[in-house]
Amino acid sequence: MQRFLFEYEIISSGISREHSIVAKDEADAKNVAVERIADIEFTDAEDIKLGRLVKAIELKDTYYECEGCT
């Protein structure tokens, strides 16, 4: 598993941000990312423009994520 960090833009407001997601590969991450970002931003999936992949990090057994970050 890897953590993928993507840039994205909210089309209606022009705001750009970043969001990370854990997935097996980049294709799986892209498939899920838009829907999750739309939920977080309280908007429709059509209002999200997924940008470039900023980085991918291999997850290891020592990786911990706080409850607020998940």
Q: Convert the pLDDT of each residue in 13-63 to its tens digit.
A: 999 999 999 999 999 999 999 999 999 999 999 999 999 999 999 887 655
Amino acid at 28: D
Q: Band of the pLDDT at 68, cuts 50, 70, 90? A: low
CA angle 35, 39, 41 (to 5 degrees): 115
pLDDT at 11: 96
**What stretches of the chain adopt beta strand conformation (E)?**
2-10, 15-23, 48-58
Above 80 in pLDDT, residue 4?
Answer: yes
pLDDT (0 to 100) of residue 67: 66
The pairing of beta strand 48-58 with beta strand 2-10: antiparallel
Q: Work out the pLDDT band at 64, boundaries 50, 70, 90.
A: low
